[in-house]
Structure 1
Amino acid sequence: MTHAELWERHKAVMPDWLSLYYEEPIEIVQGSGRRVTDGEGNSYLDFFAGILTNAIGYDIAEISDAVREQLSSGIAHTSTVYLIRKQIELAEQIAKLSGIENAKVFFANSGTEANEAALLLATQNRRSNQVLAMRNSYHGRAFGTVAITGNRGWSASSLSPVNVQYLQGAYHYRSPFKNLSDADYIKVCVDDLRNVIETTTSGDVACLIAEPIQGVGGFASPPDGLYGAFKEVLDEYGILFISDEVQTGWGRTGDNFWGIQAHGVVPDAMTFAKGLGNGFAIGGMVARPDLMDSLTANSLSTFGGNPISTSAAKATIDYLLDHDLQANAAKRGAQLADGLRGIAEEFPELGDVRGKGLMLATEIVNPADNTPDAATTAKLQQETKNRGLLIGKGGLYGNVLRMAPPMTLTEEETTEAIEILRDSFNTLR
């Protein structure tokens, strides 16, 4: 069956709002290392990794063996009403890695569920439905997480279970304060935070939730230290700080294991998902024990932290740590960033290179006035695909190319990707 035929079947039974990449969408049917093959036999170097989810790559023996071993027991599922050994082992490891003192861990099935759990616990703990979030943010597609998403392209409803106020600071490139030094930029954003609390809330805010680097928002990155400065103000009011590490966790940003560590602060809670399972569905939250234990009603998670997903996740973390993939993300990320900056020197359409480690993006603009250029962005994404490279797209205006390959990426593969990207930009001339 051709991709075109499969696409027709997709359109007949799937929602119109379920967006697909490319003029002619593809089915990925096989993978090995950092490369995948589509249903028509075309091979690609994968630089988006299932939206930052296949963190280690494809067909990794250690992860496959861990899943097979669990399956061989005949137990794929029991639910959280029973003890789950791999869940406990994984929780112990994440709690230690979190840096949060005496941390406790709750497992769900996705980043959306993780952020929903964080909202529930924070509002319960503070007895307040007031929440602070960042402009240009994205935290999931459920009712509560859509409500705290500061990007209208991904927020389908004005209805909300929480009272949300949005802050300045995360999207530096198009901020009204972008021409300030980093120190002055942080100062005005902190002043804005304090002003928002004092003028638009009753003071007893539950939490601020923020992505250290905004994922769907186009890998928008604030100056290091911004959230550390925010935390000082939050602590004055007793407001909890939740770091959404769904895309920035597990060493992907290179210099740090968690994205928030670049800001010199330990949050009250962190949410996680995506890369933890290397393709298996898992998410969760790690938090201070008093926050995690503040829920007074009964609760559970039917599928969260099931034996299969936690076996895969435990093997993924072990592989990541044993092979020091955080260091590799830093090295290959620096190589890729240098290559992108070199392209930017040749092509004024590449307005901004940003991100950290193997979480990098380019913002595509009209050189005449620096306005967002979504059409050229779509063209470039298609051109890279035609040359055998898969990259993501995003940003508030749909004009950002996102690159987040598996963290096992090699030097040779990085060079190959840079050459494909340069060839794709050459089609603009």
Structure 2
Amino acid sequence: MHASPAPSSAAPAAAGGRLPLALYALTVGAFGIGTTEFVIMGLLLQVAADLQVGLAAAGLLISGYALGVFVGAPVLTVATGRMPRKAVLVALMLIFTLGNIVCAIAPNYTVLMIARVITSLAHGTFFGVGAVVATGLVPADKKASAISIMFTGLTVATLLGVPAGAWLGLQFGWRSTFWAVAAIGVIATVVIATLVPKDRSKPEPVALRREVKAVLHPQVLLGLLMTVLGFAGVFTVYTFIQPILTRISGFGEAAVSPILLVFGGGMILGNLIGGRFADKRLAPALIGTLLALAAVLGVMTFALHHAVAAVAFVGLLGVAAFATVPPLQLWVLQKTDPAGQNLASSLNIGAFNLGNALGAWLGGAVIEHGPGLGAVTWVAALVTLSGLALAVWAARLDARPRERGIPAPQAAVADCAA
């Protein structure tokens, strides 16, 4: 059993032109989770050296986290279906905080991996439930923008949290970074508990079979697969951004943190652009952002050999990568029956992280067994192009009912019958 989406009590505030503070409380939580997810990229060499593991094994700490999100998102979403959404969000932030404390005191690689997985359990359900809450806080024409504002927490985490964490790890050891992230978790828990309004009504139980049926709609499944492939391309490169910058572009380790600031700035810009475009025309935004991402990854292969161009393309990668997030998330939400939106939203967050895991694994395989570190960018571009092909196919399927004169609300049903 699970709960169907209910309107938030804060929705009228958005109607007056001002976005509710609750939306920014979700952004704070997203900042904390985004920091712990991405900060390991800036610590990869230090963690590998301290725990005496290879670079590919250190990269699996990212895969382990991502797989934990992929598995934990639907399980926790279903398990917490009868709970008020605010209580779910607070509980998830407590899990997040505990997981980071264990990361900070982990005595070996195995414990660190387990701690990363514990932390990851909060991730998918937080963003899945949070995205549904965010879209319920605003009018219909602002839903993608609401998602982008919440996901701005991820982009700010990359802009500020990840470089700061990388610097902190370089100066005081990588464990100090996880202590700092645990402190962010405490702050985020308090902010969410204070600002997110209580559910206006008690969640109405919905049969799990109905939720699963909604998620199994072909357009929803295509959306989930697009997300996996799009972000697998991103993380094939981003997982190994520290060794790429130091070993190919020739930067010193101290330069990595400032360059990650450029990536984070690009993410913020891309996230806002993607939200604006998706609110206007969803399918073209989806196709356009994936095309831009594949192009950036492909050209990056050549840019990395020139210092200035490398920094510029790190920023462009941030723009292109996070411009895809609002259209990918909104596509899944719009193509899902309302009864299954919580589950579908959480599954799509899991899909982002399955892509992260596949990308980290693929990048490691290319480095260890394939053509090497310099090839990860063009391999990543090929992966993203496959996601683009699916987006074009999904858009064509979506257009068929309208071509036959079927009203938009019936389009999803028509696609199932086609």
Q: State TM-score, norm by structure 2.
A: 0.29
User: Looking at both structures, which has the greater relative contact order when contacts are Cα pairs under 8 Å and sequence separation is at least 6?
Assistant: 2
| Structure that is richer in strand per residue | 1
* Structure number, greater radius of gyration: 1
| Structure that is richer in helix per residue | 2
